[in-house]
Amino acid sequence: MSEPLRRVLIVSPHFPPVNAPDMQRVRMSLPYYRAAGWEAVVLCVNERWQDGTREPALLETVPADVRVVGCRALSLGWTRRLGLRNLGLRTWPYLLVAGARLLRRERFDLVFFSNTQFITFTLGRIWRWWFGVPYVLDVQDPWRTDYYERPGSRPPPGGWKYKNARFIAWLLEGWSFARAAGVMSVSPGYIDDLRARHSALKHMPSAVIRFGASAADLAVALRSPAAARFARAGGEVHFVYTGASGPVMPHALTVLFDAVRQFRGRNPARGNRLRFHFLGTSYVAPGQGTATVLPLAERCGVADLVTEVPHRLGHLECLRLQHEADVLLLPGSSDTAYSPSKTYPYFLSGRPILGLVFRDSVLERLLRDLGGAWIAAFSEREDRAACLCRTADRPVPHGRQATQASLHQAFDLALDGRLAAALPPRQETSFRALFLAESLTGEQCRLFACSLAAPGAMLSDDRA
């Protein structure tokens, strides 16, 4: 007789048909929890109360036997007048009540928080205090970060909102993590930072589990063609980036566009055949986005080679566009611990990848392990030097010359149709074992089991 399934309550405020990046891990994992010994129940916010791009086709990827419980949130129609758009804050009291009702009426072995609405993490400790059910936290992004306080960093976005969010993170991060049964993260750096700040985490079960990619998603995406986002002309090579362009990406884009300017300056005919597409560069709805990539291209004098769609695109549409690209662009972040989740669907598409990465970053190591990518590595110092070297009387630093030479070689190979053959071998077996959604769901479930087995995991009274 098979053992009964353990039950996990997954808290993910965003959920299909709304397309939001922080629910993708949950959505891709849902088909595989039962095979790993767990029955998942999802607690989310009803579509009516969610803000964001709708992608109804995502509902095809949610198994019919998965129970989804929705709750409401404060109406964005009037909270935006107070400057409050954050879904986690708008839904917190409703999630508190809905989750408490489920935990009181039904048996759950674990609560799993997988989202970037960090204020919801506080519910784990409250529910554990009330019902004795342990919880695991998924750190997809850092809740508390000193990135914008580092020397030379750009000013933080958001003004008073950023300051308020930073204060809440300082106040509640340690409190929320102190009674967790386990911690999951997409980056080892995030767990290291948490352990450095909070001693309670030093011996807590943890695991670095990437977002991964879903072969099922790709199959659904390829069944319906994406809207035409770029037209092909004879001899052009199309480099494609899909997804948001955050405030930590301009370093890599400056390196790219400066190299394009230099390449075209030396061979205008070949340089004019390059096309760069940045699609879905913000999280806003169509008609509301502001270009963030084109201004950088304009400063480098290559805007005529660049197109940008500055609103959010559907997840499945992005998969289709990736499949149609000649080369996929993967700009790295100046947060060297950051590991872009799009790395895995990029690899799954089978297209050549051009990675612009910071030296010694998590992304650089990942691309070298996976293969199939041309890697142009640089430092932040070289990026700044590029801004000063756009006049003939300034020499280009040696490190910068090497980065430019690497990119120029990649452009030449792509134009000649030889880039794919020049890439390091793709580690297909390793990728399928380590980075497909089915395998990664198994890793999640092993962390769940380890968290339940940890000393004190099933405390009935957590008032300490």
- CB atoms under 10 Å from CB of 177, counted, come to 22
Please report the pLDDT score of residue 461 as a whole number.
36
Please report the pLDDT score of residue 3 as a whole number.
80
Tell me the DSSP string of 300-337: TT-GGGEEEE-S---HHHHHHHHHH-SEEEEE--SSTT
Residue ranges in 199-341 assigned as alpha helix (H): 215-223, 250-266, 268-271, 294-299, 315-324
Q: How far apart are CA 67 and CA 76, in angstroms?
A: 26
* 59 neighbors 314 (Cβ within 8 angstroms): no
Please report the pLDDT score of residue 340 as a whole number.
83
Please report the pLDDT score of residue 190 as a whole number.
92
- CB atoms under 10 Å from CB of 418, counted, come to 10
Q: Select the CATH number that applies to the domain covering 225-430 from these four: 3.40.50.2000, 2.60.40.2480, 1.10.10.10, 2.120.10.30.
A: 3.40.50.2000
Please report the pLDDT score of residue 227 as a whole number.
65
Quote the pTM value: 0.81
Q: How far apart are CA 349 and CA 327, in angstroms?
A: 11
Question: How does DSSP classify residue 360?
Answer: T
Residue boundaries of the structural domains of the chain: 6-212+436-453, 225-430
Q: What is the CA radius of gyration of the chain?
A: 23
Buried b (16+ CB within 10 A) or exposed e, 338-373: bbbbbbbbbbbbebbbbbbbbeebbbbebbeebbbb
Tokens of 374: 């041309």
Q: How far apart are CA 39 and CA 375, in angstroms?
A: 41
* 410 neighbors 377 (Cβ within 8 angstroms): no
Is it true that 6-212+436-453 and 225-430 share their CATH fold?
yes
Tokens 């508390």 -> residue:
144
Please report the pLDDT score of residue 464 as a whole number.
35
Q: pLDDT tens, position by position, for the chain (464 residues)? A: 568 999 999 999 999 999 898 999 999 999 999 999 999 999 999 999 998 888 999 999 999 999 999 999 998 878 777 777 889 999 999 999 999 999 999 999 999 999 999 999 999 999 999 999 999 999 999 998 765 555 555 555 556 566 777 788 889 999 999 999 999 999 898 999 999 999 989 999 999 998 889 999 999 999 877 666 777 788 899 999 998 876 557 889 999 999 999 999 999 999 999 999 999 988 776 767 789 899 999 999 999 999 999 988 889 999 999 999 999 999 988 888 777 889 999 999 999 999 999 999 989 999 999 999 999 999 865 544 444 334 333 444 445 788 999 999 999 999 999 999 999 999 999 999 999 999 999 999 999 999 999 776 554 334 33
Q: What CATH number should be reported for the domain whose range is 6-212+436-453? A: 3.40.50.2000
Within 344-450, strands assigned E span 353-358, 373-378
